[in-house]
Amino acid sequence: MRFVFLALSCLVLSACVRRSLDHGWMGSAEDVKTSVRVGKTTQASLDHDLGAPTLVSSFDPHQIYYVHYQTTSSVSLLRPRMGEATAFLLVFDKKDRLRHVETIDTKAHQMHVMNAEITPMDREYHEISFEKVFRNLGQQGRGKKGL
């Protein structure tokens, strides 16, 4: 009986273990250092070697970011914790050649969560689900007669 209770308690408590969850780009700093050469690397070759960037700057499309971070899974009422984070900024010139590579200090820069009250959003983000489902109701499409 004691063995059954011990086995059952181990099984139940094993579900309370935190897990490390990876988010973003799954490369490493060594991948970036070996794949990029300032003045020679193009954005297309970088996409081929490292994969698609995590972010492209809204203000300057020649700036791209590769970001990777880990969080722990939430257990019971505990919030997930931020773990290790790596971020790289790559800047290209107008001829699509790499001009600058910067490693971003993630401890100095906080990872921010998008907040709708602070971050400007477009109208589609704020639409309620009723509007999303029924917005095209009553609109005519182009049929065979070209209406």
**pLDDT tens for each residue of 44-96:** 887 777 777 877 878 887 888 887 776 666 555 666 666 677 778 888 888 88
| pTM across the whole model | 0.51
- Host domain of residue 27: 17-106
The verdict on residue 130 lying in a domain is no
Which letter, b or e, does each residue of 19-55 get, where b requires 16 or more Cβ atoms within 10 Å of its Cβ? eeeeebbebeeebbeeebeeeebebeebeeebeebbe
Task: Estimate the share of the chain in helix, then strand, then coil, as percent rounded to the nearest 5.
Answer: 25, 25, 50
The verdict on residue 37 lying in a domain is yes
The verdict on residue 115 lying in a domain is no
The verdict on residue 129 lying in a domain is no
Q: Cα(57)–Cα(90) distance, rounded to whole angstroms?
A: 10
pLDDT tens for 102-115 read 877 666 555 544 44
- Spatial CA neighbour of 102 closest among 6, 38, 47, 12: 38
For 11, 26, 29, 110, the CA distances from 87, given in Å and listed in that order, are 38, 11, 9, 12
Confidence class of residue 116 from pLDDT cuts 50, 70 and 90?
very low
The verdict on residue 119 lying in a domain is no
Q: Quick check: 85 and 72 in contact, CB under 8 A?
A: no
Average pLDDT, the chain: 68
Return the percentage of the chain with pLDDT > 90, whole number. 0
The verdict on residue 111 lying in a domain is no
Count: domains in the chain: 1
What integer pLDDT is reported at residue 42 of this predicted model?
A: 84
